[in-house]
Amino acid sequence: MSQKVLLSSKEIQIILHRLACQLLESHLDFSNTVLIGLQPRGIFLAERLTKLLKEEYKVKHIDLGSLDITFYRDDFRRGEKPLEANKTNINFLVEDKKVVLIDDVLYTGRSIRAALTAIQSFGRPAEIELLTLIDRRFSRHLPIQPNYRGRQVDAINNEKVKVLWKENDGKDIIYLINK
């Protein structure tokens, strides 16, 4: 098994600033927009972007939530081991809001499909957008594309993208791992 660094900590920071600017350009003051990080790893990206938007770009208020999609997945009963759900925390209305779903890696699109179903439990958004840090474009099983992407990666099926976050893993780095 070999691994190659896809993005260093510095490159991740640059991409986060670019994504924050793209969100700001599209949503201005975020008065009608909510950000929702997908559990478990999309929440780290969502929290970082929210912090950047507030501290660096002086956005006064951003609604940030987290969404667990475990039981909305089409494969949730296929594994040998029992699944462990994460916490959903959406303490605001999504009805008639612009929702930006945030995840670290877009792979097959199945997680996003599950998130689209799960978010309906909280109301009917006016619009839903997708932001991903890594887009594995040749691995899609469903016709889902991000509105905002950090980096597009042409990884083949036996390769894996591994995102490490300082908050969870002690450092920011993204690897391409060849199994």
**What are residue 14's phi and psi, to 5 degrees?**
-60, -45
Amino acid at 92: F
CA angle 30, 32, 38 (to 5 degrees): 75
pLDDT tens digits for range 43-57: 999 999 999 999 999
Backbone torsions φ then ψ of 28, nearest 5 degrees = 50, -95
Beta strands across the sheet bearing 148-153:
63-67, 33-38, 98-106, 127-136, 148-153
Distances (CA, A) of 36 to 93, 101, 109, 161, 177: 12, 5, 17, 22, 28
CATH code: domain 2-22+29-76+85-178 is 3.40.50.2020
Contact 38, 67 (CB under 8 A): yes
Give the pLDDT confidence score for residue 146 in this predicted structure.
97
Question: Per the structure block, which two tokens stand in for 127?
Answer: 């619009």
User: How far apart are alpha carbons 36 and 6 in whole angstroms?
Assistant: 25
Percentage helix, strand, coil, to 5, in the chain?
A: 30, 30, 40
pLDDT (tens digit per residue) in 66-91: 999 987 776 655 556 666 778 899 99
CA distance 49 to 51: 5
pLDDT tens digits in sequence order for the chain, 179 residues long: 789 999 999 999 999 999 999 999 999 999 999 999 999 899 999 999 999 999 999 999 999 999 999 877 766 555 566 667 788 999 999 999 999 999 999 999 999 999 999 999 999 999 999 999 999 988 888 999 999 999 999 887 688 999 999 999 999 999 999 87
